[in-house]
Amino acid sequence: MDKFNRKSIVLLVGLALLLALPPITIAMEEAYFISLFSRIMIYALAAVSLDLILGYAGMASLGHGAFLGVGAYAVGILAFHVTEETAIPFLPGGWAGSINAVISWGSAIVVSSLFALVIGALSLRTSGVYFIMITLAFAQMLFFFFVSLTTYGGEDGINLDQRSQIPGLDLADDASFYYVCLALLLAFVYICYRIVNSRFGMVMRGCKQNETRMRALGYSTYRYKLICFVIAGAGAGLAGALIANQSEFVGPGLMHWTRSGEVMIMVILGGMGTIFGPIFGAVALLLMEEVLAAYTEHWMIILGPVLIFVVLFARRGIYGFLTGDGGRDG
Amino acid sequence: MRILKKTLLGAIATMAAITTPALSADSVKIGMITTLSGGGSALGRDIRDGFKLAVDMRGGMLGEKKVDLIISDDARKVGNAKQIANRMLKRDKVDIMTGIVWSNLALAVVPTVTKAGKFYLSPNAGPSKLAGKGCHKNYFNVAWQNDNLHEAAGQYVNDKAHRNVYIMAPNYPAGKDALAGFKRFYKGKIAGEVYTKLGQVDYAAELANLRATKPDAVYFFLPGGMGINFVKQYAQAGLTKTTPLFGPAFSFDEGILKAVGDTAIGVFNTSQWNKDIKNAANVDFVANFKKTYGRFPSLYASQGFDTALLIDSAIRAVDGDMSKQDDFRKALKAAKFQSVRGPFKFGPNHHPIQDIYVREVYKDGDNITNRIVGKVFTNHGDVYAADCKM
Amino acid sequence: MTFYLFLEQTLNAFQLGVMLFLMAAGLTLVFGIMNMINLAHGSFYMIGAYVAAYVSDATGSFFIGVAVALPVAAAVGMAVEIIALRRLYKRDHLDQVLATFGLILFFNELTSIIWGPQALFVAIPPVFSGSVELIPGAPYPIYRLVIIGAGLIVALLMRTLIVKTRTGMLIRAGASNREMVSALGIDIDRLYTIIFGLGALLAGLAGAFAGPILATEIGMGENILILTFVVIIVGGIGSIRGALIGALLVGLVDTYGRAFLPQFLRMIFEDPSVADGVGASISSMSIYILMAVVLIFRPRGLFQAYG
């Protein structure tokens, strides 16, 4: 019971802080933190989606940035054609894009799911380290593809003139945008929570522990893992759509392997195989970058050892440390 | 675990510390976002050092006003640069921003700054979009439009009567712009046009192909480490003797020449500045830079220095009253300062109109450096100005 | 395209492959035997390159530079193993990824503090400068031939070490059954430290050799690290033979892709600039395509050596 309480307290305090962030920071005349935390919430969403496959199904993908990038480019390309007033060349029907959030974010989710389906179907033939590397390979292919895709800016990327539009909401307002990000993060966390604790989730966790046995029990583990991979890809795609809006910019940098590595670090730092842990990981890593970079331009020489230290001595991640147990959510 | 707790507490304390910016009504706030860590940090540090030198030489003032210079490292990542720009605009409430090295970062950040009604002065990147359709009254480029040096190289190679030139750049927008700029002024035949992988280290395959096409000359644009690799390998393949090599100044700056060594001797490169330009401002700048930092200034340092001088002249013109935005802009546009590169003025799109020289790499005692061997363009602007409607 | 050009490009491919092999041999040993993903392997390469550059500049001799760089790289590798990484052998691969990623950040910034952000210069030693005309019309730099030779010698030495010596026997034994080896009274910790040092030494050697032809700069390790991972994944983790074949294969695909693909595509596309653009994009991706294809058909690489 004690453990349960401590965990609920950590989560409730965390949630209360996140909800109260805009009014508090505005009162302190530090409204800048709202945009910083929007970015953190979006990366948290990406990290939670990665944790779904990494922490629960044992699929270590080092190519998660690919879906982040694909989602961002979906939003970026649709907005690009609205600005240029031209039809999208690779789609039939002469559609001239959209800046409606429902359409463009929806497209981001659909497109990134499709990419995840194809990449996952091929990558899941391998496992372990080979899986890490084949996902990395696909992400790098997409990276180089977009770098040389001059139609959409290549390495320069696409600048968005404005954020996506939701009727009745002004996303250009940082606080509104922050709440939208937070709401989507919580919704995705809820979905993950339900998945992890469903029969489907049990099969996935079974796959992580002993895939051969799950197969012997008659489960088509390949199909289960693929579905899981697609859900994670969709989550990352949504995060990509949001990051495009947050920075009003889309570029291939999102797909570079170091970006995938950063998302993976957030997961491990926060606590792998926990639903909420990656959120703590995202907050910690991005805040640490912000704070250390203010100290010294050689901030990486501090961040590096901190990461090693966390791996060696805080094995259950920040979330496990705060809650006092492994932090298992279900 | 106690250590972890302490670290977290320390971090929170720091957050609190950096959230209370020093406010002083009598100072001008300048935000500098540049690359100080990781790959490419040499460029950012040169820009910063050049800028700081100008401020320090005036006792920490620009235009008789105390300068509050806030410097932040973007680690060459667009996301970071955007985030920092947001922080400087919203929290630090800077008046002017500058510092960005790379075109792709500038393209993402500059519109944010100009939308917020602040000034951005580019000490380096000059992408075509910001010179043409995307120009803005509050955006000034103190270095060059990206195509300028490549155009000069095209003209020079043409003047030297080379008629079959092999050209090379990385496969990304700046690379394609570079070769387009070259071809705008070069009128002969193209022996081969090759786009290489971004970040490529070995060029043996390209060099073998290049040799097989037997060009008269080679023009390349490969910034940073790529250029170092290429120039070394070009010389080692014995091509320097048979086929002259041309490039923009980026691959032949002081720092890079140290890394390339003798292999670069005899290569021609185009630049708007060199340390041997004889004017009072430049002589003073080169001497002071050497004294302060113990190294010769680079092109980037000169651009950082000029950026500070431009700000100095404009603040002076409005008597330190930064609220007179329109007057301040007019003063920037007038560019009444002694640029270290010599004559300098702004075109209609707030990009430089300036002379561009060709330099030769030579050995000066133990030191490998550049000397100006000729002037290619006088008062050269850019082709995008026509698209700019301010 | 002439036959001679084809030959020359093959030689280039071979040289790139040998360079990659030097990196891959150490990485695949550590990976295969200790089951350890070491992203910091690229840092040892960088350290080797910087130390060699610094010492050869100070002493005026490239050979002294290389001679100093090797033990330094090995010592740094062993120190890192003893201080941090040996605790991670039994951990999840992801913990290893995170910790060694931390090491990359640390070493990159440390190098930048010690030597500054500018790239360093290394001259080709005078004995190896100049070129020979092996193939008519294509003088080939002697130094690159030396690299090929050195790489092949290292490959032979590695083979001798692993097949003929007692240490090699222990390495093989440790890879297939570590409990048994330690039960036999072998100090397995020390063995692992030695293997790790050997891997770092080979990476340092590759770095030192790279100095005269490539830029010695911050971040040079990551560039080659990813390529090296591609090599050992294609070759099969833990297999020295796989690393050699994988390295040559990656060298060939990468070089031929860059050398011939654009010309080939010019025959297909009417607009040469489209052909060049598409060719450049595909050749940038070629090694990743190679790796994906190999893994799709052989999910554990070409030569799977150890479990």
Q: What is the pLDDT of residues B125-155, one digit of tens each?
A: 999 989 999 999 999 999 999 999 999 999 9
Helix pair A2-27, A32-51: axis angle to 10 deg: 150
The pLDDT > 90 percentage for chain A reads: 53
A85: exposed, middle or buried (Cβ count in 10 Å: 0-12, 13-18, 19+)? exposed
The answer to whether residue A277 sits within a structural domain is: no
Neighbours of chain B (3+ CB pairs under 8 A): A, C
Q: Among B184, B190, A304, which Cα is nearest to C112's?
A: A304
Amino acid at C75: A
Distance CA C180, CA A186 (A): 50
Say yes or no for a CB contact (<8 Å) between C291 and A133. yes
What is the DSSP code (8-state) at residue A55?
A: I
What pLDDT does A325 receive?
61
Mean pLDDT of B311-332: 94
Say how many Å lie between the first and final Cα of chain A, rounded: 15
Residue A309: name the closest of B2, C82, C110, C84 by CA. Answer: C84
Q: What is the mean pLDDT of chain A?
A: 89
What's the pLDDT at A120? 96
Q: Do the beta carbons of residue C212 and residue C29 sit within 8 Å? A: no
Lowest mean pLDDT among B340-354, C172-186, C225-239: C172-186
Mean pLDDT computed over A99-124 = 95
Residue B39 has pLDDT above 80, yes or no: no
Confidence of residue C110 (pLDDT cuts 50, 70, 90): very high
Q: B62, B315 in Cβ contact below 8 A?
A: yes
Distance CA C254, CA B207 (A): 14
In chain A, the residue whose alpha carbon lies closest to the alpha carbon of B80 is A290
First to last CA, chain C: 45
Confidence class for position A4, pLDDT limits 50, 70, 90: low
Tokens 């992400």 -> residue = A139
Q: Do B73 and A293 touch (CB under 8 A)?
A: yes
Query: For residues A16 and B221, what is the distance between their CA atoms, to the nearest angstrom?
Result: 53
Chain B nearest CA to A242, separation (Å): 13
Confidence (pLDDT) at B246: 95
State the Cα–Cα distance between residues C171 and C261, nearest whole angstrom: 42
Residue A1 pLDDT > 50, yes or no? no
Whole-angstrom Cα distance, residue A39 to residue B137? 30
Taking all residues of chain B, what is their mean pLDDT, rounded to a whole number? 89
Mean pLDDT of A154-176: 90
A239 versus C88: the higher-pLDDT residue is: A239
**Whether A2 contacts chain B with CB within 8 A:** no
Whether A6 is in a domain gets the answer no
3-class state of residue A197 by DSSP:
coil
A45 confidence band (pLDDT: 50, 70, 90):
very high
| Vertex C41: Cα angle to C35 and C47 (nearest 5) | 155
Which domains occur in chain B, in start order? 25-144+278-350 (3.40.50.2300), 148-271+355-387 (3.40.50.2300)
Looking at the structure of chain A, the number of domains it has is 1
Mean pLDDT of the region A233-239? 97
Residue A297 pLDDT greater than 80, yes or no: no
How far, CA to CA in Å, does B54 sit from each of A132, B25, B71? 50, 22, 15
The whole-angstrom separation of Cα C282 and Cα A149 is 12
Give the span between the Cα atoms of A79 and A234, in whole angstroms: 20
Query: Which domains, from first to last, does chain C contain?
Result: 3-297 (1.10.3470)
Please, are residues B147 and B136 in contact by the beta-carbon 8 Å criterion? no
Give the model confidence (pLDDT) of C150-161 as tens digits.
989 988 998 888
List pLDDT tens digits, range C211-225: 888 888 888 888 888
Conformation bin of residue A288: beta by default, left when phi > 0, alpha when psi is -120 to 50: alpha
Is A321 an interface residue toward B (CB < 8 Å)? yes
How far apart are the C-alpha atoms of B174 and B186, rounded to whole Å? Answer: 18
Q: Given an 8 Å threshold on Cβ–Cβ distance, is C215 in contact with B228?
A: yes
Query: What's the CA gap between A60 and A126, in Å, rounded?
Result: 11
Instruction: Please say whether the beta carbons of B98 and B121 come within 8 A.
Output: yes
End-to-end CA distance of chain B: 59
Closest by Cβ to A251, choosing from B7, B104, B174: B104
pLDDT at B321 over 80: yes
**Closest by alpha carbon to C279, among A208, B171, A48?**
B171
Comparing CA positions, the residue from C233, C238, C263 lying closest to residue C250 is: C233
Task: Identify the helix (H) or strand (E) that includes residue B166.
Answer: strand B164-170
What pLDDT is recorded for position B258? 84
pLDDT at residue B297, as a whole number:
94
Contact indicator for C131, B207 with CB cutoff of 8 Å = no
pLDDT of C90 over the 80 cut:
yes
Q: How confident is residue A3, by pLDDT bands cut at 50, 70 and 90?
A: low
Structure tokens at C17: 């492959």
CA distances, A184 to each of A44, A177, A236, B271 (Å): 11, 11, 12, 51
Amino acid letter at C119?
Answer: A
Residues in chain B: 390
Q: Is C302 helix (H, G, I), strand (E, B) or coil?
A: coil
> Would residue A97 count as lying in a domain?
yes
pLDDT band at B377 (very low <50, low <70, confident <90, very high): very high
Residue C13 tokens, joined = 């491919």
pLDDT tier, C271 (very low <50, low <70, confident <90, very high otherwise): confident
The answer to whether residue A93 is domain-embedded is: yes
Taking the C-alpha atoms of residue A117 and residue A229, their distance in angstroms, rounded to an integer, is 7
SS3 state of residue A250: strand
Q: What pLDDT is stored for residue B285 in this prediction?
A: 97
Residue A274 covered by a domain? no
Q: What is the pLDDT of residues A65-111, one digit of tens each?
A: 999 999 999 999 999 999 888 888 888 877 888 899 999 999 999 99
Residue B215's closest CA among B250, B179, B243, B182?
A: B243
Above 70 in pLDDT, residue B12?
no
C121 at A interface, C-beta within 8 A? no
- Contacts of residue B318, defined as CB under 8 A and 6 or more positions apart, other chains included, come to B324, B327, B328, B331
Q: Where do we find the tokens 């390979």? A: A137
Residues 6+ apart with CB under 8 A from B35: B41, B43, B44, B73, B74, B75, B76, B101, B102
User: Quick check: B329 pLDDT over 90?
Assistant: yes
CB A53 within 8 A of CB A228: yes
| Residue type (1 letter), B381 | G
Give Dmax (Cα) for chain C.
Answer: 70
Q: Which residues of C touch A308 (CB under 8 A)?
A: 84, 99, 102-103, 106
Q: Are C36 and C80 in contact (CB under 8 A)?
A: no
Q: Select from C158, C141, C132, C123 the least CA-distant residue to C240.
A: C158
Which tens digits make up the pLDDT trace of C46-89?
999 999 999 998 998 999 999 999 999 999 999 999 998 888 88
Judged by a CB distance cut-off of 8 A, whether residue C199 touches chain B is no
Helices and strands counted in chain B (H then E)? 14, 14
Query: DSSP secondary-structure letter at B22?
Result: P
8-state DSSP, A315: T
Which residue of A156, A289, A295 is in closest CB contact with B104?
A: A156
pLDDT at A329: 54
Q: Residue B4's pLDDT is what?
A: 47
If residue B33 lies in a helix (H) or strand (E), which one and from where to where?
strand B27-34
Q: How far is B50 from chain C (nearest CA, A)?
A: 16
| B107 vs B135: CA distance, rounded Å | 11
Q: Which of A154-168, A231-245, C257-271 is modeled with the greatest confidence?
A: A231-245
User: What pLDDT, on the 0 to 100 scale, is given for residue A148?
Assistant: 82
Chain C segment 232-261 residues within 8 A of B by beta carbon are 255-256, 258-259
Whether residues A157 and B82 touch (CB distance < 8 A) is answered with no
- Residue in chain A lying closest to B197 (CA): A144
Contact (CB, 8 A) for B73 and A297? yes
Is the predicted pLDDT of residue C270 greater than 80, yes or no?
no
Which domain, by its residues, includes A65?
Answer: 17-254
Radius of gyration, CA atoms only, chain B: 21
Shortest Cα distance from A53 to chain C (angstroms)?
13
Give a yes or no: residue A263 inside a domain.
Answer: no
Cβ distance B137 to B329 under 8 Å? yes
Cα distance between residue B359 and residue B368, in whole Å: 13
| A112-130 mean pLDDT | 93
More confident residue, C93 or B163: B163
Q: Does residue A206 belong to any structural domain of this protein?
A: yes
Q: Average pLDDT, stretch B270-277?
A: 95
Q: What per-residue confidence (pLDDT) applies to B25?
A: 57
Give the whole-angstrom CA distance, residue C45 versus residue C66.
12
Which of the pair, C269 or A132, is modelled with greater confidence? A132
pLDDT of residue B23 exceeding 90, the answer is: no
B203 CA to centre of own chain = 25
Q: How far is C122 from chain B (nearest CA, A)?
A: 7
Partner-chain residue, chosen from B90, B108, B129, that has the shortest CB–CB distance to A31: B90
Which candidate from A257, A272, A304 shows the least CB-CB separation from C94? A272
**A316, amino acid identity:** R
Enumerate neighbours of A (3 or more CB pairs within 8 A).
Answer: B, C
